[in-house]
Structure 1
Amino acid sequence: MQDINAWNKNVIDEFRANGGKVGGPYAGGRLLLLNTVGAKSGEKRTTPLGFVDDGDSYVVAASMLGAPKHPAWYHNIVANPEVTVEIGGEAFTTTAVIASGEEYRRLFAKFNEVSSFLAEHQAKTTRQIPLIVLKRSAD
């Protein structure tokens, strides 16, 4: 866990220092920073995630590389669905909504049009990887 925390911290620092642009394996990719409140700790947490657009919303996948359990940030958004998102140099509040049914199938297909990572991660696990729609709040 320490390695992933250090990795994420480096990505977050680079993202913020460069207006949302990062290098390495994420170079040219679309990343956002998801800022949640810990479901148990109540502490602020930041997670870099790939995303796809869906109209005025952004969609992220709780894949955790196909691990058998959901990532901690997923439990955070279930407990506290109002989250802050950073894209580029902009930060704004969103409401996290877990996709289901036809919306889930449509968004899963949309992810796979962009990259095969979601299908690859889903093939590694028996759990259904949640897709979360981040709906921008009215300011």
Structure 2
Amino acid sequence: MADADAAAIRAEVGDWTRQHLNTYLRSGGAEGHVVDISSVGGHAMTTHCLIRCAGRKSGTPRVTPLIYGNVAGEIVIVASKGGADDHPQWYLNILDSETIDVQIATQAFEATWREPVDDERHSVWSYMTHLYPPYLAYQSSTTRHIPIVMLKTVRAIDVFRAHGEP
């Protein structure tokens, strides 16, 4: 793919992601939790969460919307970055944190995180590719092993707010 084409795709996805995040934040989670992403290979009723973690260099809190699943009471997110050869920044940021914040619809929590290994990882990966089939193509397009992160909620916190809101 030409660099200009790739840049155009990244810009379009970035715009959609920003709009999705703003909708989720402005509504306090009443909107943006379930989104139709069938036009990009997903399902009509795909669940999304928000994660918030501090930038490892800046310390500034960053909020990211992500597809999620639930396995045995743990929230599962995938660090796919669309099959890019490098990890997403949010994943690198959580590697430096013991806990992160997660919001699902209108409820938010502090959560610990872990990465499943071996048979558990295989099982969770299979589940997540059923929820969002493009993960299979993403993994095929890169040599990196796409990380899976499992979150266990610790305590309830206030829902996330849009920048500048109290």
Residue 114 of structure 1 and its aligned partner are, at CA, apart by 2.2
Change (3 A) 1:91 1:80: same
* AA partner of residue 20 (structure 2): V
Change (3 A) 1:55 1:23: closer
What is the percent sequence identity of the aligned residues?
Answer: 27
Residue 101 of structure 1 and its aligned partner are, at CA, apart by 1.6
Structure of higher CA gyration radius = 2
Query: What does the per-residue CA deviation read over 1:40-89, in whole Å, with 9 as the maximum and x for residues that have no partner?
Result: 11110001000111121110000000000000000111001311101111
Give TM-score scaled by structure 1 length. 0.88
The residue number in structure 1 matching 2:17 is 8
Please give the secondary structure, in 2, of the residue aligned with 1:31: strand
Residue 115 of structure 1 and its aligned partner are, at CA, apart by 2.7
* AA partner of residue 109 (structure 1): S
Q: Distance in 2 between matches of 1:5 and 1:116?
A: 20
* AA partner of residue 59 (structure 1): V
Quick check: 27-36 or 2-11, which moved more? 2-11
Match of 2:109 among 82, 86, 92: 92
Q: Distance in 2 between matches of 1:96 and 1:115?
A: 21
Size of the alignment, in residue pairs?
139
* C-alpha RMSD of the superposition: 2.2
* AA partner of residue 132 (structure 1): V
Confirm or deny: 8 A CA contact 1:20 1:87 kept in the other structure.
no
Give TM-score scaled by structure 2 length. 0.75
Consecutive unaligned residues of structure 2, counting only runs of 5 or more, are 1-6, 39-43, 157-166
- Equivalent positions of 1:56-135 (< 5 A) are 56-135=73-152
Confirm or deny: 8 A CA contact 1:52 1:111 kept in the other structure.
yes
Residue 113 of structure 1 and its aligned partner are, at CA, apart by 2.4
Q: Distance in 1 between matches of 2:74 and 2:136?
A: 21
Q: Distance in 2 between matches of 1:38 and 1:121?
A: 25
Quick check: 62-71 or 73-82, which moved more? 73-82
